[in-house]
Amino acid sequence: MMLDYTMLRHPDNDLAAVESFLVRFEFTEDYLHLQYEVTGELSALNIPAMQTPCPVDGLWQHTCFEAFIAVNGEERYYEFNFSPSSAWAAYAFSSYRCRSVWTIKNPPIIIFTETDESLLMDVLIDVDDLPLKLENQSFQLGLTAVIETNEGGLSYWALQHSDGAADFHQRKHFVLSFNSNNPQDL
């Protein structure tokens, strides 16, 4: 069963075009399934054009949806970026913003649907590309997004924000916890 969470716009950003932003997730035997849904005046948003799925750096400089995943109690974490264009990126960090060498085994599956009033992106991340965890340890999950306007302005969205500039890498923003049997809020 997918659970719904409301994404919040960073207080320093102004983006009246977005009326609502929901994110959902479920963990299955094979995948972490993420679903991002944005509604509003979408003609004001810069949505990247569809392309052949491939890894691309710098997706956060335009409209993209993100997931930060860690094993509860460990410093290391993964960052995944997903563009409506079907481009994606995957990074590993040994600690806060310290990149480490890692190569994703299976590219994420990205399904993007756009109507006049809503954007819907479903993403499937293979369980083999999640951080390794020991039995009975849970994952921590931070769900975030960057939305670009047609004028080039960026707004930052997350389940929770701190004072100051948006910083999705802060572990205190990995506010969801889940395991294979019981997704739940922390």
As a whole-number percent, the residues of the chain with pLDDT over 70 amount to 96
Residue 29 has pLDDT above 90, yes or no: no
Q: What is the pLDDT of residue 183?
A: 42
Q: Regarding the domain delimited by 3-185, which CATH topology (the fold level of the hierarchy) does it fall under?
A: Immunoglobulin-like (2.60.40)
Residue pointed to by tokens 């991340």: 125
Q: Are 175 and 24 in contact (CB under 8 A)?
A: no
DSSP assigned state of 59 = G
Residue 8 has pLDDT above 60, yes or no: yes
Q: What is the pLDDT of residue 186?
A: 35
Residue 185 has pLDDT above 70, yes or no: no
pLDDT digit string, tens, across residues 77-136: 999 999 999 999 999 999 999 999 999 999 999 999 998 889 999 999 999 998 877 677
Q: What is the pLDDT of residue 180?
A: 52
Q: What are the domain boundaries of the chain?
A: 3-185
- Least confident stretch, 150-154, 161-165, 167-171: 161-165
Residue range 157-175: average pLDDT? 91
As a whole-number percent, the residues of the chain with pLDDT over 90 amount to 75
Residue 12 has pLDDT above 70, yes or no: yes
Which of 9, 57, 50, 15 minimizes the C-alpha distance to 151? 15
User: What is the C-alpha separation between 55 and 53, in angstroms, rounded?
Assistant: 7
Q: Per-residue confidence at 38, pLDDT binned at 50, 70, 90?
A: very high
pTM score: 0.93
Q: What is the pLDDT of residue 3?
A: 82
Residue range 12-25: average pLDDT? 90
DSSP assignments along 145-184, one per residue: EEEEBTTS-EEEEES---SSS--TT-GGG--EEE-SS--E
